Amino acid sequence: MNATNFFSGNPDLVEVFDKAVSWDRIVRAVEGETADVTATVATWREVCDLAGRYIATEIAPRAAKVDEIGVIRDDGQIRMNEPMLENLRGLAELGLASPSVPPDYGGASLPFTVTMMIAEMLARADLATQVQHGIGWNSPAALIYRFGNDEQKARYLPRLAKGEIMGAVAMTEPQAGSDVGRLATTATQQGGDGCWILKGRKQFISAGQGDMVIVLARCVAGSTGLDGLGMFVADRERDNYVVERAEHKFTIRGSPTCALVFEGTRATALGNPGDGWKQILTFMNESRLGVGIQGIGVATAAFAKASDYAAQRVQMGKPIREHPMVAEMLLDMETTVAGARALAYEAAVLQDLVMFGRDQDAARDARELTPLVKWYGTEGAVRVCRLALQIHGGYGVVDEYDVGRFMRDSLITPIYEGTSQIQSLMALRAPASLVRRGPSRILARASPGGRAGSDFAAARGHIQGSLRLLVARLLRRKGPALLRGAELSDEDLGPILLHAERLTESLAHTHVARVLAERARLIPERRRLAERAARTALLVTERNRRAIALDDGSVLERIAAWRSERS
């Protein structure tokens, strides 16, 4: 990998662009049936190359400074630091502030897949800058473009596309994190001119220091849970809402993570008040893929550093990469990064077909893959960064070597946009249907050949075996009523909820094995990588099946005891 262009200098990313993505389907979905596929793809490739050069040569060298300075807190004003502002100005000058916005509003109409490639390169250079770019510009622009009325589009999109203003998306509240349905911020209609008044608090809002915010709030009086929510846009000017503080934190230090207070805040409704949850779900699919891809960016940075270091550092008469344990770590990192990338862009393409082509089959497959991309991309990033640190020995904890920052930054990725545990629940979606219909349509129809293919098939068998064990346990609890489609409570589903992350890990590894094996059919030089991924999938699924088989019931017993303490 070369460090002067994060696109053309990264052979795996180039391979994904040139050989794995079916661009013709995307071009037709985005630009229409008559579009010139070759010319459009060539333009998108040039954009990636241009972005890759700027990000590698300008943004990456400023990352340590962005991290060291952190958030500026001056006289109660919360601001981004100067190197980060310089990064963002540079991206805006290249026309990359909100590149998915259509040209009518000043954007470049880039498809999701290309925007994600730019996001990956940015995350490799500096995750804090990528968060400000993604959440501050792209996310509000995407939501306003999708759900806004003409007036809202005209008011916000051109300025977001030029990078003149920055926004944020606020769902989380102090008492409502994973459980969004507990949110208590209210929106009340005032008069007949479309003005709503917001009241409440939001917590942990990335880029919350900006000029406007999209707020998820309860707008139907008396509603509970995920019903009766709406999305609202509020401007910050004239202290319409208060940025109370930015948290002091050890990860993505340059990105202000803010607490916001709304007290009589004037706002307008974005889309249909009452449809807020349905609307935000469309955003969550994209942003969860985006966070999986953040993980890939950070892991790429850590892998590149560790590879260089292991080639140069000599101990016991040879470069440390020639010591088998270190070599194995490097191969493990390479497989994880390439596997996560292959799976993530398979899902990104599906997302484009859903967004632009309204393709229902793609929607079903994207729903299956999205939580796995988030889970594998982010948990994989933490592991890869940990290995990079270990390969650096004592130097790993020294700031100048950067891997400490990669480690710290990677740790946020399995938390925000739905934790790994929440992704695991999403991956199993409806546990009842999982029990009745099996885990995966995509895995069921895959049949890669060769050694990778037989390990893949064995891994898939272990997933089915794990499920059979869990169904047997459910049958013992619920009896034959289970097979007749009886309602299942959380208590009935206890064994599945307990092992959800194990099943998710097994599913994610097996999908990675599938996608790499399918790629190796097209590109024979990738055969060894595919075989390693398939062997890992086999080992992981076997271990998880055994862990489920050996479950001694003590976790669910302890929960029952805690529950009785409460009653």
Ligand X SMILES: Cc1cc2nc3c(=O)[nH]c(=O)nc-3n(C[C@H](O)[C@H](O)[C@H](O)COP(=O)(O)OP(=O)(O)OC[C@H]3O[C@@H](n4cnc5c(N)ncnc54)[C@H](O)[C@@H]3O)c2cc1C
* 384, two tokens: 């890869």
**Interface segment toward ligand X; rule CB under 6 A; list 55-63, 99-107, 203-211, 217-225:** 203-211
Regarding 390 and contact with ligand X (CB under 6 A), the answer is no
- Nearest distance from C-beta of residue 480 to ligand X, angstroms: 28
- Nearest distance from C-beta of residue 128 to ligand X, angstroms: 10
Q: 3-state class of 187 per DSSP? A: strand
- If the CB atoms of residues 52 and 295 are measured against ligand X, the closer one turns out to be 295
**Interface segment toward ligand X; rule CB under 6 A; list 157-165, 200-208, 327-335, 538-546:** 200-208
Residues 103, 174 contacting (CB under 8 angstroms): no
Rounded to an integer, what distance in angstroms lies between the CA atom of residue 536 and that of residue 15?
22
Residues within window 238-277 making contact with ligand X, judged by CB under 6 A: 252, 257
Regarding 416 and contact with ligand X (CB under 6 A), the answer is yes
- Nearest distance from C-beta of residue 403 to ligand X, angstroms: 20
Question: Rounded to an integer, what is the distance from CA 481 to the centroid of its chain?
Answer: 38
Count of helices and strands (H, E) across the chain: 21, 11
Residue partners of 235: CB distance under 8 A and separation at least 6 = 211, 212, 266
Q: Which of 44, 204, 262, 376 binds ligand X (CB under 6 A)?
A: 204
List % helix, strand, coil for the chain (3-state, nearest 5). 65, 10, 25
Measure the CA angle with vertex 121, ends 116 and 123; round to 5°. Answer: 90
**Interface segment toward ligand X; rule CB under 6 A; list 166-174, 329-337, 440-448, 516-524:** 166-174
Regarding 428 and contact with ligand X (CB under 6 A), the answer is no
CB atoms within 10 A of CB 328: 11
Regarding 205 and contact with ligand X (CB under 6 A), the answer is yes
- If the CB atoms of residues 253 and 386 are measured against ligand X, the closer one turns out to be 253
Q: Which of 127, 170, 197, 233 binds ligand X (CB under 6 A)?
A: 170
- Nearest distance from C-beta of residue 233 to ligand X, angstroms: 15
Q: 3-state class of 117 per DSSP? A: helix
**Interface segment toward ligand X; rule CB under 6 A; list 70-78, 171-179, 455-463, 557-565:** 171-179
- Nearest distance from C-beta of residue 61 to ligand X, angstroms: 24
Regarding 172 and contact with ligand X (CB under 6 A), the answer is yes
Residue nearest to ligand X (CB): 177
- If the CB atoms of residues 252 and 343 are measured against ligand X, the closer one turns out to be 252
Q: Which among 96, 89, 111 has a CA at the least distance from the CA of 50?
A: 96
Rounded to an integer, what distance in angstroms lies between the CA atom of residue 21 and that of residue 24?
9
Regarding 505 and contact with ligand X (CB under 6 A), the answer is no
Regarding 496 and contact with ligand X (CB under 6 A), the answer is no
Regarding 412 and contact with ligand X (CB under 6 A), the answer is yes
Regarding 206 and contact with ligand X (CB under 6 A), the answer is yes
Q: Which of 59, 66, 169, 350 binds ligand X (CB under 6 A)?
A: 169
Residues within window 123-152 making contact with ligand X, judged by CB under 6 A: 135
The 3 state secondary structure assigned to 458-480 is HHHHHHHHHHHHHHHHHHHHHHH
- The CA distances from residue 233 to 140, 168, 246, in Å, are 9, 10, 21
Number of residues that bind ligand X (CB under 6 A): 21
Regarding 178 and contact with ligand X (CB under 6 A), the answer is yes
Residues within window 294-313 making contact with ligand X, judged by CB under 6 A: none
Q: Where are the alpha helices (DSSP H) in 313-430?
A: 324-357, 360-391, 403-410, 420-428
- Locate tokens 């001694």: which residue? 552
Regarding 226 and contact with ligand X (CB under 6 A), the answer is no
CB atoms within 10 A of CB 204: 19
- If the CB atoms of residues 205 and 373 are measured against ligand X, the closer one turns out to be 205
- If the CB atoms of residues 353 and 422 are measured against ligand X, the closer one turns out to be 422
Rounded to an integer, what distance in angstroms lies between the CA atom of residue 463 and that of residue 534?
14
Site of interaction with ligand X (CB under 6 A)? 135, 168-172, 177-178, 204-206, 252, 257, 412, 415-419, 421-422
